[in-house]
Amino acid sequence: MHQSMCRIQRGPFVYYTCRRLPVRHAFTTKFGGVSTGHCESLNLGFNRGDTEENVRENYRRLAEALGVPDARWTLTKQIHETGVSVVEEEQAGMGLHQPMAWQSDAIVTALPDTPLIGFYADCVVTLLYDPATHTAGVCHSGWRGMAAGILPKTVAVMEQKLGTKRDSLIAVLGPSIRQECFETDADVPEAMERQLGALVQPYIMEKGPKFHVDLQGIGVKLLQDAGLAPENVIDSGICTMCHADEFWSHRATHGLRGVQGGVICL
């Protein structure tokens, strides 16, 4: 775990934070909610076989624990592509208190008191915050989104639409499946190399007939190449599959699971 990361236990909640982010934020774990069965207990996804009532109650409790307004939860819609949406006042509450009207794996905002949330159960959720302009974002990327460049695209949208400064922007890559555990066939590294070129080569390890891609390493490299200062790009260093006791890992559960959230709120 990166030295700036903290494991917080508050009542039934367990979540992770980063000392570098001076705004309300969290990477949630399984713990703190009311869901049961394979979604026990803090499932934040409506498409995991949980009841809508339980999921809504989980959001309500999480909002209370983090001190953010439940009425303004704003959700990504994760389709493994590169859509980035700006959350304006009319979009506050999207996905929970008003119907989802975007297909955006990343959402960004300058609005205060508007908790943004992206989802993970092995994928990388990155929280972004710029103290110079007080702007924030959340970006979901599995290997497809990472290969398609959603992280640098999120930075570009923040700069163009919100005035975010690249040289003060802080990014924290959350708990996610790491290289040791992320075993794939050749299709994954080949697809990533087709889209990102030779820069991915140092992040691909060959083990017999299988491959292990360092998604977080690639994410850090892409963010640094996008103009973020090396000291402002933080890889949390936590593997969801190694810590399947605390996190739902898509691989460890074979898909029968709830889902965690990465949250940031100005």
Q: Which residues here bind Zn ion, judged by CB under 5 A?
A: 178, 181, 239, 241-242
Instruction: Count Cα neighbours of 87 within 13 Å in the Cβ-side half-sphere.
Output: 34
Closest to Zn ion by CB, 171 vs 241, is 241
Closest to Zn ion by CB, 161 vs 251, is 251
User: Please, what is the minimum distance in Å from the beta carbon of residue 179 to Zn ion?
Assistant: 8
Tell me phi and psi for residue 190, to 5 degrees: -65, -45
SS3 163: coil
Closest to Zn ion by CB, 111 vs 241, is 241
Rounded CA separation 243/58 (Å): 22
User: Please, what is the minimum distance in Å from the beta carbon of residue 182 to Zn ion?
Assistant: 8
User: Please, what is the minimum distance in Å from the beta carbon of residue 244 to Zn ion?
Assistant: 9
Please report where in the chains the tokens 């609005």 appear, as a residue.
Answer: 111
Closest to Zn ion by CB, 139 vs 241, is 241
Q: How many CB atoms lie within 10 A of CB 142?
A: 20
Two structure tokens written together for 102: 């975007």
CA proximity to 18, closest of 263, 195, 190 = 263
Angle between the N-to-C axes of helices 215-225 and 187-196, in degrees from 0 to 180, rounded to the nearest 10: 0
User: Please, what is the minimum distance in Å from the beta carbon of residue 249 to Zn ion?
Assistant: 8
Closest to Zn ion by CB, 77 vs 178, is 178
User: Please, what is the minimum distance in Å from the beta carbon of residue 181 to Zn ion?
Assistant: 3
CA angle 156, 229, 215 (to 5 degrees): 70
